[in-house]
Structure 1
Amino acid sequence: MSQRIWPRRTSVLAGCLAGMLLAGCAHTIPVAEPAPAVELPAGWSQAGTPGSQEWPDNLWWQRFGSDELSQLVRDGQDSNLELAAALSRVRQAAAQARIAGVALLPSVDAYAGASRDLPLAGNHNANVSSSGQLQVSYELDFWGKNAASVAAAEASLRANFYDRQTVALTVTSAIVSTYLQLLSLHDRLGVARENAGTAEHVLSLVEAQSSVGAATSVDLARQRSAVASQRAAIPALQQQEREAQSALAILLGRSPQTFKVSDSGLDTIRLPEVTAGLPSELLSRRPDIRRSEAVLAAASANVEMARAALFPSIRLTGTTGTQSSALTSLLNAQNVFANVGASLVAPIFDGGRLRTERDLAIEQKQELVQNYRATVLAALAEVDTVLGQINSLDEQRRLKEVELEQSRLAFNLSEIRYKAGAEDLMTVLDTQRNLADVQNELGILKLKRLQATVSLYKALGGGWQAG
């Protein structure tokens, strides 16, 4: 007889659990709302190639044609400390999403106990009692509160994922930009040493003229001052070089004291062609925009949670177990018990807290809607600004190259005329100083143009693609 009672009662509990799981299908899963509408232009006002839809690939830094740069980017993606912290935040959000999902499953608790009554004097009988209990509970998610909690956690996970993509894009752009700056400083140091050598060459001419009485002591002092001025520019550039190299080392997660790049200059870098695609496609490429969408989705789910909290919550419970006053009869069928129950909890008076929390969630969502629109508009403006900057720098560089050619010609002619006695030293000094300034300005413009390309890659979302 006992062999029949145990399966029958356990089947009752199994039926109860099945009912709980099926009832879980009744919850309402929040439907993700579409992103708020933002008016998008048909094209970029500063686009160099109108109508082009080409986008950077996911290895956009390789277009600069530097193997050393590509290796540095790979090292940075593996070792950058900010990226490592961002990855940890993604893992934390994934854990939070898993925790939120637990609310959609039944909870099972087990209890067991045993006791023994010690005999008093003269009493040789000992009473042993024991019990075991298995309790299962499940909250029916009729109003979608638990599902909304899961949706909010999953949206938060997406936001953290896109946030890491933003950090990755920022770090990669910083590595490329700092590397280009370092190469530019190599070039500028070379130009500074060349200018110092030129000034020393002119000084030797002045000294030769002074030895035969063709140059005054004032001319000699002026040129010595020019030599000192050109030499003084070198230590400042060397310090900038050290600072840029240290900044690059930190981006790579390395110690600055043991880090060094090659002594090459910007002549080893290829200027890539970049087109901006269509503005509407920017929404699916920029990780900061996708992050704003995910944060907005989380806020929408929070609104659903706040609304569902206003309604009653229904919880089903099922219990089965055994109890006996003798340990040997613990599993006897007559000692097995089971029960099923349901409870309903509804808020009656909370001083308006739940409704206020709902109103708060709604207003927080409205704030994020405006933030999303602002993010999109800022992204559109950023791309257009960088495109205009590239066009402007290209024109400036073209004109500066013409200026450099004429400045070099003017200096060479003034030196020849000075040797022939047809020109005074002041003219030579002016053309020398102008040539040095133009060379330095051209180097800075070249760096700005390359860094503007990096900024455009970043503004376009780099080579990142939606997963």
Structure 2
Amino acid sequence: MRFSILDMQLFLPARVASIALGLLCAGLAGCAHNIPISEPPPAVEMPAGWALSGKAADQEWPDNDWWNRFGSPELTELVKEGQASNLEIAAALARVRQAEAQARIAGAPLLPSAEFSAGGNRDLPLGNNGSANTSTSGLLQISYEIDFWGKNKASLAAAEASLKANRYDRQTVALTVTSGIVSTYLQVLSLHDRLNISRENVANAVRVLVLVEAQSNAGAASPLDLARQRSAVAGQRAAIPDLMQQEREAQSALAILLGRSSQTFKVADHGLNTISLPDVTPGLPSELLSRRPDIRRSEAQLAAANANVAVARAALFPSIRLTGSTGAQSSALLSLFNGPNLLANVGASLVAPIFDAGLLKNQRDLAIAQKQELVQVYRSTVIAALSEVDTVLGQIRSLDEQRTLKTTEMEQARFAFNLSEIRYKVGAEDLMTVLDTQRALSDVQNELGKLKLKRLQATVSLYKALGGGWQEDTSHGAVAASPPVLSGP
């Protein structure tokens, strides 16, 4: 049941109804309380520095065009293409456009609404007597809801916060796509290297096989030695088709990120030796709060939820609507707007909830519970971001140590293989020693190639964990980042 002051006009004179409306509004103003629309995000304890950074002094944040630091013109062009053509980014941009429209819709109730209607009627006599009568009318009606409790203002604030959240979400999607392009590109180059290593291993095995065949013909090698080396050659060759398939799959995944068909896409045939290893400085942990778009998105979602609580609270109080209309009615079109034909009406109504089976109260409780959930989501997002950066820093340190040791192992494995091959030629070593050193060299080369890829991808992960150099431009109230797609819409 809802109570309207207009219902009183059925029983009270107009002047008495107006006085009652004024007194009731004054009484409600006396009991009104301030409904907060926004509040700062909850505080989260921030560490003083990164545990595994090793660069406590003179820290700085990554560049917003961080992919250029890998020193690959081809990669730079691919990132540019992906930011312009990726379908996920295009979908995120469409969501931003939707949020912009929602914000404009939410702002409409803050302004008066006007409607105009016009009509005409012609009465024709059924008999011979009488004449046709034509009448016309026009009516302009204006209505406005007084935002006494800030409900409409809070609705607009919620829509604007949701718009910000969608803009930050677009930045997050763009950062994820860019990181995916760089990481997948590095994977393709690594597979190029692994294929070259496999072909080199095949060449080494074939060279030993030629030597074993020559010794077998001379009676210096047994049929068992010959069979073992032929088996080794076949095993080395068998690794190539699998690596080629992995290369095709990686190039196809990269083509999808670029919004292109994999049938018409191919990366240039070179390896990771063309890629520079950037040195990333992580900056201060507290900067993550403004440098990661996913944290800002979570913060904006929390602001929208807080505004929704204000909307739900305001709905518990009466709404006040002012209406006014003016029009004219005449039997002659030309005299429609003459003075005697003009009509005017001004009214005010107050509608207050009396009994709704707890609907409005439960909607308020729902909004409060949703806000409380987003408070925890915000804290979780911040903590996860801090943990992600520290984890990647630990990976980088571990991978650097592994690569140093593995490089030494590969150098010794290559020396051992070359030496065993020479000693086998002069009969100072058996074939099993050659096979063992050859297998060891092949294994360590593959492992070192994988470690190099992991180290480069860990750098990409660190750039992503640090927000990719993105930063909000607070001086203009907009989102600023690297062009073309990371800039605000």
For the aligned pair, the TM-score class normalised by the smaller chain equals over 0.9
Indicate the SS of the match to 1:462: helix
Is residue 183 from structure 1 mapped to residue 195 from structure 2 by the alignment? no
8 Å CA contact 1:28–1:147 kept in 2: the answer is no
Structure 2 distance, partners of 1:219, 1:254, is 51
Q: State the partner residue of 2:21.
A: none
Is residue 377 from structure 1 mapped to residue 405 from structure 2 by the alignment? no
Q: State the partner residue of 1:386.
A: 392
Structure 2 distance, partners of 1:29, 1:238, is 64
User: Which residue of the other structure, out of 461, 466, 478, is the alignment partner of 1:460?
Assistant: 466
Structure 1 distance, partners of 2:214, 2:59, is 64
Structure 2 distance, partners of 1:120, 1:444, is 98
Q: State the partner residue of 2:335.
A: 329
8 Å CA contact 1:43–1:279 kept in 2: the answer is yes
Task: Please report how far the alpha carbon of residue 28 of structure 1 lies from its aligned counterpart in structure 2 after TM superposition.
Answer: 7.6
Q: 1:239 to 1:276 in 2, by over 3 A?
A: same
Structure 2 distance, partners of 1:103, 1:29, is 19
8 Å CA contact 2:37–2:310 kept in 1: the answer is no
Deviation per residue, 1:371-411 (Å, 9 max, x gap): 10000000000000000000000000000000001001111
Structure 1 distance, partners of 2:458, 2:54, is 14
Indicate the SS of the match to 1:138: strand
Is residue 429 from structure 1 mapped to residue 435 from structure 2 by the alignment? yes
8 Å CA contact 1:43–1:51 kept in 2: the answer is no
Task: Please report how far the alpha carbon of residue 420 of structure 1 lies from its aligned counterpart in structure 2 after TM superposition.
Answer: 1.2
8 Å CA contact 1:139–1:316 kept in 2: the answer is yes
Task: Please report how far the alpha carbon of residue 262 of structure 1 lies from its aligned counterpart in structure 2 after TM superposition.
Answer: 0.4
The amino acid of 1:160's aligned partner reads N
User: Which residue of the other structure, out of 406, 411, 414, is the alignment partner of 1:405?
Assistant: 411
Structure 1 distance, partners of 2:33, 2:151, is 8
8 Å CA contact 1:186–1:264 kept in 2: the answer is yes
Q: State the partner residue of 2:278.
A: 272
8 Å CA contact 2:187–2:250 kept in 1: the answer is yes
Q: State the partner residue of 1:232.
A: 238
Deviation per residue, 1:98-138 (Å, 9 max, x gap): 00000101010001111011012122312111110000000
Q: State the partner residue of 1:129.
A: 135
Structure 2 distance, partners of 1:392, 1:49, is 16
The amino acid of 2:346's aligned partner reads V
Structure 1 distance, partners of 2:204, 2:81, is 41
The amino acid of 1:391's aligned partner reads R
8 Å CA contact 2:86–2:258 kept in 1: the answer is yes
Share of identical aligned residues, percent?
76
Structure 1 distance, partners of 2:338, 2:417, is 111
8 Å CA contact 1:48–1:387 kept in 2: the answer is no
Task: Please report how far the alpha carbon of residue 215 of structure 1 lies from its aligned counterpart in structure 2 after TM superposition.
Answer: 0.7
Is residue 354 from structure 1 mapped to residue 391 from structure 2 by the alignment? no
Structure 1 distance, partners of 2:397, 2:468, is 20
Task: Please report how far the alpha carbon of residue 30 of structure 1 lies from its aligned counterpart in structure 2 after TM superposition.
Answer: 4.8
The amino acid of 2:290's aligned partner reads S
Structure 1 distance, partners of 2:179, 2:50, is 22
Is residue 119 from structure 1 mapped to residue 125 from structure 2 by the alignment? yes
8 Å CA contact 1:180–1:447 kept in 2: the answer is yes
Structure 1 distance, partners of 2:319, 2:172, is 40
Q: State the partner residue of 2:4.
A: none
8 Å CA contact 2:319–2:352 kept in 1: the answer is yes
User: Which residue of the other structure, out of 420, 439, 444, is the alignment partner of 2:450?
Assistant: 444
Indicate the SS of the match to 2:127: coil
Structure 2 distance, partners of 1:28, 1:95, is 29
Task: Please report how far the alpha carbon of residue 27 of structure 1 lies from its aligned counterpart in structure 2 after TM superposition.
Answer: 12
User: Which residue of the other structure, out of 266, 285, 288, is the alignment partner of 2:291?
Assistant: 285
Structure 2 distance, partners of 1:384, 1:365, is 29
Deviation per residue, 1:26-82 (Å, 9 max, x gap): 998954211101001000111031234311111100000000000000000010000
The amino acid of 1:301's aligned partner reads A
Q: TM-score, normalised by structure 2?
A: 0.89
Q: State the partner residue of 1:91.
A: 97
Is residue 243 from structure 1 mapped to residue 255 from structure 2 by the alignment? no
Deviation per residue, 1:223-250 (Å, 9 max, x gap): 0000000000000000000000110011
In structure 2, stretches of 5+ residues that fail to align are: 1-31, 473-478, 480-489
Structure 2 distance, partners of 1:261, 1:28, is 61
Counterparts of 1:67-82 in structure 2, within 5 Å, are 67-82=73-88
Q: How many residues align?
A: 442
Task: Please report how far the alpha carbon of residue 339 of structure 1 lies from its aligned counterpart in structure 2 after TM superposition.
Answer: 1.8
Q: State the partner residue of 1:13.
A: none
Structure 2 distance, partners of 1:307, 1:28, is 11
The amino acid of 2:321's aligned partner reads R
The amino acid of 2:426's aligned partner reads A
In structure 1, stretches of 5+ residues that fail to align are: 1-25
8 Å CA contact 2:256–2:262 kept in 1: the answer is yes
Q: 1:147 to 1:28 in 2, by over 3 A?
A: farther
Q: TM-score, normalised by structure 1?
A: 0.93
Is residue 217 from structure 1 mapped to residue 223 from structure 2 by the alignment? yes
